[in-house]
Amino acid sequence: MTLATGGTPVPTTSDLASTKRCDTRKKMLVSAAEVLRERGAAGVTIDAVLARSGAPRGSVYHHFPDGRNQILTEALRYAGDSITATIEDAVDQGARVLLREYVKYWERLLTDGEFNAGCPVVAAAIGSAADDELELTSEAGIIIGRWCTALTRAFVADGFDESQAASLAVMSIAALEGAIVLCRSTRCVTPLHQVGDQLEFLIKAREFVARQSR
What SS3 class is residue 2?
coil
Instruction: For residue range 73-111, list pLDDT tens digits in order.
Output: 999 999 999 899 889 989 999 999 999 999 998 999 999
Instruction: For residue range 129-162, list pLDDT tens digits in order.
Output: 566 567 888 999 999 999 999 999 999 999 999 9
Name the superfamily (CATH) of residues 13-212.
Tetracycline Repressor, domain 2 (1.10.357.10)
In terms of Cα–Cα distance, which of 163, 4, 173, 1 is closest to 95?
A: 173
Backbone dihedral region of 58: left (phi > 0), alpha (psi from -120 to 50 degrees) or beta? alpha
Residue 58 CB burial class (10 angstroms; 0-12, 13-18, ≥19): exposed
Q: Tell me the whole-structure pTM to 2 decimals.
A: 0.85
**How many CB atoms are located within 10 Å of the residue 44 CB?**
30
Query: Can you give the residue ranges of every domain in the chain?
Result: 13-212
